[in-house]
Amino acid sequence: MMLRRQVREIGRIQSMRRLSCKSPAGRDQAFSLAEASKDPSRVRELRLEDSSPDLQCRNVFCEFAGGSCVCKLSKWIEQTHGRLSALRVMSLRDARLGKLPPSIWMLEQLEELDLRGNDLKEIPPGILGMRKLRVLKLDDNAFEAPPDGISELQNLSEFTI
């Protein structure tokens, strides 16, 4: 209640052109897989950004060992996707990923997918199953062309590449 009152007061400033208020990280946002695992059914946003430790490969048998990799994320999605009904936003921005985990396409309820600042060369056709996707951000990757069939995503209202 106090925050609402403060926002109303700030909003009365005559010269204010834009007011944006972000809520502090709560139970609906997670910035690590450990945090998201506490109660996956409540996580609305998962943000593994800027070389998140969750995306650093420690598997010596992986081709990406020591670098950015999706092994841990892929396994986590496979184990929890049935409990991720609230998940609407996933950001893997600036994670330096060379590929995406196939399990990401299990998250059909996603509305926003932010993949800016990676080393992606292509987006697999699995993205076409994400019918609820409204926002897809692919800037600063190594794409030669937009993903095939992107026009099939009828709910897409924001697309950057």
Sequence-separated (6 or more) residues with CB below 8 Å from residue 89: 44, 45, 46, 47, 110, 111, 112, 113, 114
Going by pLDDT thresholds of 50, 70 and 90, the confidence category of residue 148 is confident
Structure confidence by residue, pLDDT tens digits, 106-139: 999 999 999 999 999 988 888 889 999 999 999 9
Q: Is the pLDDT of residue 90 over 60?
A: yes
CATH 3.80.10.10, applies to 26-160: yes
Q: Is the pLDDT of residue 45 over 50?
A: yes
Q: Quick one: average pLDDT of 71-93?
A: 93
Q: Which residues of 21-56 are buried (b: 16+ CB within 10 A; e: fewer)?
A: eeeeeeeebbbebebbeeebebbebbbbeeebebbb
Q: What is the pLDDT of residue 120?
A: 92
Structure confidence by residue, pLDDT tens digits, 8-26: 565 555 555 555 555 444 5
Distance CA(111)–CA(64), nearest Å, equals: 29
For the chain, the structural domain boundaries read: 26-160
3-state secondary structure the chain: CHHHHHHHHHHCCCCCCCCCCCCCCCCCEECCHHHHHCCHHHCCEEECCCCCHHHECCCCCCCCCCCECCHHHHHHHHHHHHHCCCCCEEECCCCCCCCCCHHHHHCCCCCEEECCCCCCCCCCHHHHHCCCCCEEECCCCCCCCCCCCHHHCCCCCEEEC
**Phi, psi (5° rounding) for residue 8?**
-60, -45
Q: Is the pLDDT of residue 146 over 90?
A: no
Q: Is the pLDDT of residue 70 over 70?
A: yes
